[in-house]
Amino acid sequence: MLSMKNNSHYNLFFSIRLATLICTITSIILFILSYFIERSFENYTIKQNIAELDAVINTMQSELYARDYLDSSNNNRFEQNFSLILASHYRLFVYIEDKAGHVIFNTKGPDLLITKQHPEFYQLMATGKTGIWEHKNHSYRIAVAKISLTDDNQYTIIAAIGREQQSHYVSHLHEGLTILIIITSMISFVWTMAAIYLTQKPIERLTTRIQSVTSKHLNERIPLSIVPAKFIGIVHAFNDMLARIEDVFQRQRNFTADIAHEIRTPITNLVTQTQIALSNARTTDEYREVLYSNLEEYERLSKMITDMLFLAQADNKQLTPELVDINLKAMFTMIFDYFEPVIEDNNISFDLEGEDLIIEGDRLMLTRAIYNLISNAIRYTPSGQTITVSLKHLNKNLIQFIVANPGKKIAPEHLPKLFDRFYRVDKSRQRNGEGAGIGLAIVKSIIETLKGKICAESDELSTRIIVTLPIKNDYQNEDDKLRY
């Protein structure tokens, strides 16, 4: 429960951090965009004011030319024309004087003559640029032009346009964009939190379900109905993994039970025989008979322990083959000779087919593997039948031998597990006289140590153990593995 609470706190903290990060990034992006929008609008208004001032000055210049060369006596008409020109412009003021300083035209509003007192005035006149004039809490953009019609007819034009409207627009735009940034940031924060919640909810359900799976409940599977479609692949993989783990745990439990049973049997026999021997006085021959019987049980235990140590070494990759050239056909012949008394008692025969195969391998390991294969084949071959061994080259690098024994067909689902330790197709079958059930597991460990492959096939005619081995092996190179 404490872990779940910590998990929830962590998820909430992570969600807030992520939402804050996205909100911050959104705010920064909007701020940058707002900055460029404000600057673009401000530059546009400046260009508009400059164009408006230039247009007025050019129009005034044309009117002054007409005044001097057409009808210089009619000042009233020209003043009316000037007023009409300025009527279409909002808060635009003009001051015109001649060379002698006489005022030709002056609009009502700020006293533009004051600007001549500023040192920047003549700089604006020389460069033709505009400037900002702050006067009585008002801001104006001014332009100054000196017009020379003739040497005697020179005029100075001062034009100013109020900046309050543009400043008002820029201020309102700034406020609007600021509000937009705040609202958008809040929406992005809330949206991100909601998206994370909706996304994490099925994940949390899935996590809770996964945490409920323990070694005692490995048979449970996560239903696909509780997860979104995008997680179905993950759930499939997890369920498959659970199936594999369950299989491993089950095999481990079976292995523990089987090894306990296999060890308990000879120990029980030893204890029973010893108790019987001690219950009454015995002769020397009787004690010797008990000791011989106990020795058989000790040898059985010793063999079982030796086999288990061998498998442990194989699991830990501690087996080191001693490579020599081996004639497989001669090795099979030797092992057939060893089992001759057994096959005569069981009325079983051997048939060895194929050519001489010379491979590089460990003689003791291969002898043990082939011994176990033949012993297993004899155990399950009916009386009067024949065990067939065939040898052949697959190619210049691989050889194959097959040990086939007649008998009852093994179902396909059992075939991959035949090489598991203590695995038996018929769980109810008694073990007496059948060995410990790890012979084929040892065979598989040996074949894989020699870089080979082993598998089983079965049909109504026979059960076949198929072994494929490389002719040459480089055991120092872990990448050199057998491939079909």
- Over residues 203-219, mean pLDDT: 72
Whose tokens are 């044309």? That residue is 62
Average pLDDT over residues 210-235: 74
Least confident of 101-110, 228-237, 249-258: 249-258
Instruction: Report d(CA 59, CA 27) in Å as an integer.
Output: 47
Give pLDDT, residue 205: 73
The mean per-residue pLDDT over the stretch 352-361 comes to 88
DSSP 410: P
At 370, the pLDDT band (50, 70, 90 cuts) reads very high
**Three-class SS of residue 144?**
strand
Comparing 40-54, 215-229, 291-305, 383-397, which segment has the lowest mean pLDDT?
A: 215-229
- pLDDT the model gives residue 69: 54
User: For residues 239 and 210, what is the distance between their CA atoms, to the nearest angstrom?
Assistant: 10
Task: Please report the sign of the dihedral spanned by the C-alpha atoms of residue 379, residue 381, residue 385, residue 391.
Answer: negative
Give the span between the Cα atoms of 458 and 41, in whole angstroms.
Answer: 86
Is the pLDDT at 427 greater than 70? The verdict is no
- Select the more confidently predicted residue: 308 or 131: 131
Residue 433 has pLDDT above 60, yes or no: no
pLDDT tens, residue by residue, 148-193: 877 677 888 889 988 887 788 888 888 888 898 899 889 988 888 8
Of residues 308 and 53, which shows the higher confidence score?
53
Q: Is the predicted pLDDT of residue 412 greater than 80, yes or no?
A: yes
Answer whether 376's CB lies under 8 Å from 439's CB.
yes
- Residue type (1 letter), 377: A
Which is more confident, 211 or 4?
A: 211
Q: What is the mean pLDDT of residues 338-343?
A: 88
Q: Give phi and psi for 204, each to the nearest 5.
A: -65, -40
SS3 133: strand
Q: Which long-range contacts (CB under 8 A, 24 or more apart) does 187-195 make?
A: 188/19, 188/22, 188/23, 188/26, 189/19, 189/20, 189/22, 189/23, 192/18, 192/19, 192/22, 192/23, 193/15, 193/16, 193/19
429-457 mean pLDDT: 76
CA distances from 27 to 35, 181, 186, 187 (A): 12, 6, 10, 11
* pLDDT for the residue numbered 4: 47
For residue range 288-339, what is the model confidence (pLDDT) as tens digits? 888 888 888 888 788 777 777 777 777 667 777 888 999 999 999 999 999 9
The average pLDDT across 182-210 equals: 80
| Cα torsion through 429, 432, 437, 440, rounded to 10 | -100
Pairing of strands 154-162, 92-98: antiparallel
Reported as a single tens digit per residue, the pLDDT across 110-121 is 888 888 888 888
Burial zone of 282 (CB within 10 Å; 0-12 exposed, 13-18 middle, 19+ buried): middle
Total residue length of the chain: 484
289 membership: H or E segment, kind and range: helix 284-315
**pLDDT over 50 at 481, yes or no:** no
pLDDT at res. 406: 92
User: Whole-angstrom Cα distance, residue 368 to residue 40?
Assistant: 89
- Mean of the per-residue pLDDT values of the chain: 81
| pLDDT > 90: percent of the chain | 13
The pLDDT of 48-74, averaged and rounded, is: 75
H or E element, residue 202: helix 164-211
pLDDT band at residue 465, thresholds of 50, 70 and 90? Answer: very high
Rounded to whole angstroms, how far apart are CA atoms 83 and 87?
6
Instruction: Indicate the angle between helix axes 284-315 and 439-449, nearest 10 degrees.
Output: 40
Task: List domains and CATH numbers for the chain.
Answer: 2-172 (3.30.450.20), 229-314 (1.10.287.130), 319-470 (3.30.565.10)
Binning pLDDT at 50, 70 and 90, where does residue 221 land?
confident
What pLDDT was estimated at residue 473?
66
Q: Which two tokens stand for residue 13?
A: 């903290």
For strand 386-393 and strand 349-354, is the pairing parallel, antiparallel, or unpaired?
A: parallel
Mean pLDDT of the region 236-255: 78
Q: What is the pLDDT of residue 282?
A: 80
- Please tell me the distance from the alpha carbon of residue 307 to that of residue 305, in angstroms, as a whole number: 5
Average pLDDT over residues 357-379: 90
pLDDT at 32 over 80: yes
What is the rounded average pLDDT of the residues 466-473? 87
As a whole number of angstroms, the distance between CA 369 and CA 374 comes to: 9
